[in-house]
Amino acid sequence: MYETVGGSGDGGGSGRATVRSSPPPVSSASGAPTDDAKKPSASPSRKPTASSTSAPAPASGPLKGKVVVIDPGHNPENFQHASEINRKVNIGTNWKECDTTGTSTNDGYTEAKFTLDVAHRMRTLLEEQGATVKLTQDGDRPYGPCVDERARIGNEAKADAVVSVHADGSGAGNRGFHVILPGAVHAGAADTRAIVGPSRDLGERVAGRFVAVTGSAPSNYIGDGTGLVTRKDLGGLNLSTVPKVFIECGNMRDSKDAALLTSGAWRQKAAQGISEGIVSFLRG
């Protein structure tokens, strides 16, 4: 797993990190789509209602009885609902926009499409391990959900782990992934004190497996080379009562990262790496 040494701070890196040995990888025997961003996204045919349903978990598997919530960042239709997504919601420390449109590659492949595609792939992999998997949205909502509802979905599911999938929109030349961990917050409706420790464990394991499976390096522009960042300004983390992290899988505005993010084969690796981190966390 990813082991950190040293302290962490709000909005900054979290010490130095090294990759350690991990449990056997999640099986990808069900097949890895190799489509690129210009072809239809490969995903299971069923489309559950985002906040309340998921396909039945397999009868057996190492994750039987475990609940995983995957939060695909943004929504493909957010851009058509500016007034709704700009409505402010309380995230405990302050008020923030309900949601945003997300970013895109220079060729127009959107973050919202990327996050849904990776989420679908993760769902398949984790269900094969016996987990019950829920998505906060499955492209079946007109917009959102808002960041406070995204947190609430994981809380109400009593999820054993939640991962919010994103891709960054930084400047060209900025490359690599980073995992965002919740900082210790106790303000208003936000109280992350009980989840800071387990969320860090989850994040370290996700980061370590992401490196191992994708070959991607930690971000060269945030996190001091560790791939780990702590923040206190994200409603999806502040309002969570269950272990949760965000992952920015790469920078859509860098041409080299964009070439990876738009590759179906690479997205399968991303889903595999994140899923293996979740499995490692849940199996202890």
Summarize pLDDT for 137-183 with one digit per residue, the tens.
Answer: 999 999 999 999 999 999 999 999 999 999 999 999 999 999 999 99
Does 46 score more than 70 pLDDT?
no
Sequence length of the chain is 284
The answer to whether the beta carbons of residues 231 and 239 sit under 8 Å apart is no
**Amino acid identity for residue 51 in this structure:** S
pTM beyond cutoff 0.85: no
Does 212 score more than 50 pLDDT?
yes
Give me the pLDDT at residue 11, please. 29
Per-residue exposure over 233-270, b if at least 16 CB sit within 10 Å of its own CB, e if not? ebbbbbbbbbbbbbbbbbbbbbeebbebbbbbebbbbb
Q: Estimate to the nearest angstrom the gap between the alpha carbon of 97 and the chain centroid.
A: 19
Instruction: Give the three-state DSSP class for 39.
Output: coil
Q: In what order do the strands lie in the sheet with 12-13?
A: 12-13, 228-231, 178-182, 244-251, 161-168, 67-72, 132-135
pLDDT 10s digits, 177-201: 999 999 999 999 999 999 999 999 9
The neighbour count for residue 42, using CB atoms within 10 Å, is 17
Q: Where are the alpha helices (DSSP H) in the chain?
A: 82-85, 111-128, 147-156, 196-214, 235-238, 255-261, 264-283
Please state, for a pLDDT cut of 90, what percent of the chain lies above it: 79
pLDDT band at 55 (very low <50, low <70, confident <90, very high): low
Phi, psi of 231 (to 5 degrees): -135, 150
Instruction: Give the three-state DSSP class for 208.
Output: helix
Give me the pLDDT at residue 53, please. 43
pLDDT 10s digits, 65-86: 999 999 999 999 999 999 999 9
Q: Which residue has the higher pLDDT, 198 or 4?
A: 198
| Residue whose structure tokens are 């016996």 | 130
Q: Which of 111, 128, 248, 276 is catalytic?
A: 248
Region 91-115: mean pLDDT is 98
Q: Is 248 an active-site residue?
A: yes
CATH number of the domain at 58-283, please?
3.40.630.40
